[in-house]
């Protein structure tokens, strides 16, 4: 029990430090990428996007952080000659392997719960925010799209705003079963309904 507490304390300390550092690094890179690429957004808008992305990126870096924490802990065991101490104390290497496995399993469960319960909602908000504020598009505003409404009707519109119920360049094509155009209906240049 003492060995497990000693091991987990050191392992999870490394894991948290590495995971927070990687999360900060990824968000730091994302911040400067958005500053360079997005010309019309303010710094507060970009910071809001980064804040929404912080928790999802924290859970995304679990796997690499676990691997790096394992490597650092093994390196530290070697540097401090703790392998020899474990042999002197008659601690089997299988016991250490089991502790590494348990730590990985704990992190896998935490990662799964974090991604499914916390991160998924924030990731959806982040993507919606990115579309609306940074790319200035919305799933409520659709441009230049062909849609098959039924087997006989094909619709084209240049622009459609579902929120304001407006659009332009609306064309309905009524097709025959042998794929010939039977009738074409064009809407006004600008439609408001």
Domain final position from 134, 149, 172:
134
Strands 171-175 and 190-192, by their bridges, are: unpaired
Residue 28, φ and ψ in degrees, nearest 5: -65, -45
Q: Which of the pair, 175 or 145, is modelled with greater confidence? A: 175
Q: Is the pLDDT of residue 192 over 90?
A: no
117 and 150 assigned to the same domain: no
166, HSE (Cβ side, Cα atoms, 13 Å)? 4
Q: What is the CB neighbour count within 10 angstroms for residue 5?
A: 9
Reported as a single tens digit per residue, the pLDDT across 32-60 is 887 777 776 778 888 888 888 888 889 98
Tell whether the model's pLDDT for residue 117 goes beyond 70: yes
Mean pLDDT along residues 90-105? 85
Domain final residue, candidates 110, 134, 158: 134
Same domain for 157 and 117? no
Using the 3D structure, point to which of 94, 112, 134 is the last residue of a domain.
134
Residues 41 and 130 in one domain: yes
Q: What is the total count of domains within the chain? A: 2
Q: Give yes or no: residues 103 and 177 share one domain.
A: no
| pTM for this predicted structure | 0.62
Same domain, yes or no: 124 and 155: no
- Are 174 and 166 a contacting pair, CB within 8 Å? no
Predicted local distance difference test score (pLDDT) of residue 32:
82
Q: Do 50 and 30 lie in a common domain?
A: yes
Residue span of the structural domain in which 64 resides: 2-134
Query: What's the mean pLDDT in 100-110?
Result: 91
Reported as a single tens digit per residue, the pLDDT across 126-160 is: 777 777 766 655 556 677 778 888 888 888 877 77
Give yes or no: residues 171 and 119 share one domain.
no
Q: Specify whether 87 is located in the same domain as 12.
A: yes
What confidence tier does 169 reach under pLDDT thresholds 50, 70, 90?
confident
- For residues 147 and 82, state if they share a domain: no
Q: Is the pLDDT of residue 112 over 60?
A: yes
Do 121 and 148 belong together in one domain? no
- What is the average pLDDT value for the chain, to the nearest integer? 82
Shared domain for 52 and 101, answered yes or no, is yes
Handedness of CA 17, 22, 25, 30 (dihedral sign): negative
The Cα 103–Cα 119 span in angstroms is 21
Q: Would you say 185 and 172 are in contact if contact means Cβ atoms under 8 Å apart?
A: yes
Same domain, 15 and 88: yes
């Amino acid at each position: 029990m003492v060995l497990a507490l000693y091991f987990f304390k050191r392992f999870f300390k490394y894991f948290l430090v590495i995971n927070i550092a990687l999360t900060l690094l990824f968000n730091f890179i994302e911040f400067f990428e958005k500053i360079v690429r997005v010309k019309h957004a303010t710094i507060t808008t970009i910071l809001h996007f980064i804040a929404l992305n912080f928790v999802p990126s924290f859970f995304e870096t679990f796997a690499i952080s676990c691997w790096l924490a394992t490597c650092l802990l093994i390196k530290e065991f070697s540097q401090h000659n703790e392998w020899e101490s474990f042999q002197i104390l008659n601690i089997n290497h299988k016991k250490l392997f089991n502790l590494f496995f348990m730590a990985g399993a704990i992190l896998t469960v935490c990662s799964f719960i974090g991604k499914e319960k916390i991160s998924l909602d924030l990731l959806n908000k982040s993507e919606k925010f990115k579309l609306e504020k940074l790319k200035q598009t919305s799933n409520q505003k659709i441009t230049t799209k062909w849609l098959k409404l039924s087997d006989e009707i094909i619709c084209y519109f240049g622009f459609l705003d579902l929120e304001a119920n407006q659009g332009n360049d609306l064309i309905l094509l009524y097709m025959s079963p042998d794929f010939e155009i039977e009738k074409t209906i064009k809407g006004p240049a600008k439609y408001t309904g």
